[in-house]
Every structure is written in C-alpha cells, then in structure tokens.
Amino acid sequence: MPHWLIIDLEATTDEGGWPVTEMEVIEIGASLVNRQGREVDHFQRFVRPQRRPLLTPFCRQLTHITQANIDAATPLSEVWPLFERWLGQHQTRLEGWASWGDYDRQQLELEWQRHGLDSALAHTPHINLKQRFAKARRLDKPLGLNGALQLAGMQFHGQQHRALEDARNTARLLPLILPV
C-alpha cells in the first residue's frame, strides 16, 4: 500500500514574521500515512538553531516550544540524518510528500543547502496541500489549516503550531485532496 509523508516545520520567527532566509527550523514533525490519512509511523524532533539560538518571546508563545526544548536539542546537521534513517525504512512505499503550503518545502531546501545535506525528499514528488484543497473546494483563496479543517467539518486535534500535531491534522485532509 502506498504511503504519503506529511511534514510540518516550526521555525524561528518574531512578530510580523521573518523572511524564509532568516528563519531556522526548530521542530520537525512528520506523519507517514496511508491514502486514507491514517498514520502508519511518525517522526518528531526539536532542532537547535545555529544563527539565533535564543527564541523570541513571540516564537515561544506561538509554538509553545520552550527555550529548554531548544537548548537540549541538537543542530539540524545531526537531526536530519536521523530523519533520513527513519525515512529510509519507508522509502519503497513512499508515493510522495506533502505540506500545508509551500513554506515547509522552501525552508527544507534552504536548510539542506545551508548545511550541505542530501535528502531523499529532494528526489520525491511534493504536493502543496493548501493549494490543492483550495482548488478542490473551488475557493477564491487558500485557507489556513484550521480554516480548512473547519470547512471540512473537522476540529483541530492537539496544539496548533506544533510540528507533529500540525502534520497529523494536515494528514486528515489528505483523503479529501488526493484523487482516489
């Protein structure tokens, strides 16, 4: 049975947002699901940012990630190989990977380049589920994840702006977006 990988990242930011080039990943959440959106496996790790290791008060409040979580984490150059090893066991059944919007793909590509990392995901098809959902529902403009869930008659499960919870909630919309 084919699987899809849903990825969500949390990153350093401040009120008003930062350009993607200024942001660094602080949490990776990945939910490996079947086409019905049921989780088969998952991956979650905190990541210690290198350029701005101190989280802004806005970032801590938004994500509910503490400075202690980040201080105890390892840099992406150490976390990413763990992710690749985890992903490797599922690679043969992986149909593609997806995220809610294009930010996560852009951030990962930037981080891979910045840290000189190679990834199997770079050679795996990516789908922007936010755009696909808007197109499937004939919306004038794409919705945020919570708005899309509500439109689909679902409630958000867990804490918003936490990587694994966001990935899992995104996965719940997968069956409404993917062709059967």
Element containing residue 3 per DSSP (H, E): strand 3-11
Residue 101, by phi and psi: left (phi above 0), alpha (psi -120 to 50) or beta? left
Does pTM surpass 0.85? Answer: yes
Catalytic residue check, 126 = no
Residue 180: band (very low, low, confident or very high) from pLDDT cuts 50, 70, 90: low
Residue 179 has pLDDT above 80, yes or no: no
Task: Give me the residue label for tokens 């936490």.
Answer: 162
Q: What is the pLDDT of residue 178?
A: 83
Residue 1: band (very low, low, confident or very high) from pLDDT cuts 50, 70, 90: confident
Instruction: State the greatest distance between any 2 C-alpha atoms of the chain, in Å, as a whole number.
Output: 45
Reported as a single tens digit per residue, the pLDDT across 157-174 is 999 999 999 999 999 999
Task: Give me the residue label for tokens 């869930």.
Answer: 149
Helix, coil or strand: residue 41: strand
Helix, coil or strand: residue 25: strand
Catalytic residue check, 90 = no
Candidates 39, 84, 90, 161; catalytic one: 161
Candidates 3, 10, 111, 165; catalytic one: 10
Reported as a single tens digit per residue, the pLDDT across 19-57 is 999 999 999 999 999 988 999 999 999 999 999 999 999
Reported as a single tens digit per residue, the pLDDT across 85-143 is 999 999 999 999 999 999 999 999 999 999 999 999 999 999 999 999 999 999 999 99
